[in-house]
Structure 1
Amino acid sequence: MIQREIIKIPIANSAYAYGVNLDNTLFTVIDIYSSFKGIPVPEILKNKILLTNAVHMDIGKKDYSWISLGKYDVPTDLLKLPTFYMQDTITKTNFHLVKPPLYDQMLKAAKNECIGLERMVVMSPDHLVDRLNNHFFGKKMKWPESLPFWVDSK
């Protein structure tokens, strides 16, 4: 196990989502949320990964109120770096895979190779909270068309 910072993210309905700060830019969000009282960190770490994305925390110097719960030993399955995909926003037909650990190479890919992968984006904290509110509470996302996070299999 490796120590990483565990974060608590305020979301809708006076609830919190939880994540692991992988490197101050890349965050893994765990598939669990709680009421205002919270959940003990060992219980949080027993759950699976919901998503991993880069988050730009300095956008407009806004206070996003993410709360550090401190550093904890994190199971290796929660530290796994995913493969992302990129899609040409003009043609919509060209796809690439972007693989860890450095995410510095793009490999040409077919659309079907990207299904189920997260899009390589740098989100604002607002985008991430919007996704979490959609996932946990079914709230409509503000940016579903302009920021598709996954490839439609159709």
Structure 2
Amino acid sequence: MVLKEPLIAFFDRLFLRDQPEHFEVGGLPVAFTLMVMNHAVTSRRWPVVGSADIPEELRFSPKFCKQDELSGILSIYHEIPELAPLYERYASPGECIGLETAAVWEPEHVEDRLRDHFRGLPNKWVEQLKIT
């Protein structure tokens, strides 16, 4: 489900291609939410298959963790409208546990990750981005 650009939520459920245009996604578990390159949708690589209201639980801006390549310093990256469109602050290692690493994903890497997710396999792109 396309959220606020560039965020896309990926559900922990496979959908059939012939599903009706409007379907209810509220309450479905989310496998992960990522920042994804626009061309995944604008190029029609990922066709629009329907529309639905964004569920309340997905209307927030998720936090992402970043690690400076040189210093190793960690930070939390997210949107706080009252402070700044994009907000970043220092973080402890514990604060990054369970957070996605801040990155804008290419569609083919997301597709690899989805395949691995549904097969129960580790994903090489997630491993490559892992905070150390």
TM, length-normalised to structure 2: 0.76
CA distance in 1: counterparts of 2:2 and 2:109, whole angstroms? 17
Q: CA RMSD in A?
A: 2.7
| Offset from partner CA, 1:67-116 (integer Å, 9 cap, x none) | 2133322221122221111012234x310011224552221111111111
| Offset from partner CA, 1:127-151 (integer Å, 9 cap, x none) | 1111111111134534354333xx4
List 4+ stretches of structure 1 deviating above 6 A. Answer: none
Q: Is the 8 A contact 1:96 1:109 kept in 2?
A: yes
Aligned sequence identity (%):
27
TM, length-normalised to structure 1: 0.67
Equivalent residue number for residue 47 of structure 1: 28
- Equivalent residue runs for 1:1-154 within 5 Å: 20-38=1-19, 41-42=23-24, 44-58=25-39, 63=43, 65-91=45-71, 93-101=72-80, 104-139=86-121, 141-148=123-130, 151=131
Q: Is the 8 A contact 1:48 1:78 kept in 2?
A: no
As a proportion of its length, which structure holds more strand?
1
CA distance in 1: counterparts of 2:96 and 2:85, whole angstroms? 15
Unpaired stretches in structure 2, ≥5 consecutive residues: none
CA distance in 2: counterparts of 1:36 and 1:106, whole angstroms? 39
The total of aligned residue pairs comes to 127
Q: Is the 8 A contact 1:30 1:49 kept in 2?
A: yes
- Residue identity opposite 2:61 in structure 1: L
| Alpha-carbon spacing, 1:113–1:82, altered in 2? closer, same or farther (3 Å) | same
Q: Is the 8 A contact 1:84 1:118 kept in 2?
A: yes
Secondary structure (helix, strand or coil) at the match of 1:146 reads helix
As a proportion of its length, which structure holds more helix?
2
Equivalent residue number for residue 8 of structure 1: none
